[in-house]
Amino acid sequence: MCDVLVVDDDFMVARAHERIVQQLPSYRVVGVAHSGEQALELIEKLAPQLVLLDMYLPDMTGLDVIRRARSTGVAVDFLVLSAAREADIVTAALQGGIVSYLLKPFKISELQSRLVGYAQRRELLARPGVLSQADLDRALGSTAGTDSVRAAPLPKGLSKETGALIEAALRASERDVAASECGEALGISRVVARKYLEYFVDTGQATVTLRYGQTGRPQRRYAWVAASPA
């Protein structure tokens, strides 16, 4: 489970970001801050793994939050969500070690895709043993989306953002899931979820098994194919 702190001075925007995070498997929001000082206090108190950070705060900039958090040696990642487009601000944020920078306004699917990529990077770097160059390439590039969905173009009518969300749901699940369960968890229809699940089965990234009940047709249940450790 990845603990997230949402930081934005706009209460409605912060609430919207909180809802987006809560929809994803393996993520939970542990706190919301509306100022830089409040953010720093909650980082120290709650120890989140990830902070969704706005650059424009009433008492300081997001850059100040990053610098002060880094100066204390706290282990936390920052994903910037801001309207700030100035090159010097973006450069300073990158130098501060942010994992991604998303300009407002953005689509919900864009933030979800970055969160999925971040979760995959954490999973990859948590594996025991040494990393290959391919592992490093995936880790450094995965915050923009998932590797498997970006590796090849999806069939017409399927989007990489939704594919990334369904992949993340399959990866995070400790058991196989039905299309209806997957759709309900992500807020999409069963029919749409099944299209993506069947695509993953066709490409060998997921498996499908039939579960027979007392009546009716057997239920198709899907599971992600775990990659063999390098």
- Per-domain boundaries in the chain: 2-106, 137-224
Distance, CA of 70 to CA of 40 (rounded, Å): 11
- Answer whether residue 159 shows pLDDT above 50: yes
Instruction: Note whether 2-106 and 137-224 share their fold.
Output: no
Query: How far apart are the C-alpha atoms of 19 and 10, rounded to whole Å?
Result: 14
**What is the torsion angle, in degrees rounded to the nearest 10, for the CA atoms of residue 86, residue 87, residue 90 and residue 94?**
-170
Task: Between 209 and 173, name the one with better pLDDT.
Answer: 209
- CATH architecture type of domain 137-224: Orthogonal Bundle (1.10)
pLDDT of 71 higher than 80: yes
77-131 pLDDT tens trace: 999 999 999 989 999 998 898 999 999 988 888 888 888 888 888 887 877 778 7
Instruction: For the domain covering 2-106, report its CATH number.
Output: 3.40.50.2300
DSSP string, 95-157: HTT-SEEEESS--HHHHHHHHHHHHHHHHHHTSSS---HHHHHHHHHGGGS-HHHHHSPPPTT
Residues 98-115, buried b or exposed e (16+ Cβ, 10 A)?
bbbbbebeeeeebbbbbb
Tens of pLDDT, residue by residue over 2-21, are: 999 999 999 999 999 999 99
Are 87 and 46 in contact by the 8 Å Cβ rule? The answer is no
Q: What is the mean pLDDT of the chain?
A: 85
- Percent with pLDDT over 90 in the chain: 43
Segment 194-214 shows an average pLDDT of: 87
User: What is the per-residue pLDDT for 143?
Assistant: 52
CA distance 161 to 12: 24
* This model's pTM is above 0.85: no
Tell me the pLDDT band of 147, cut-offs 50, 70 and 90: very low
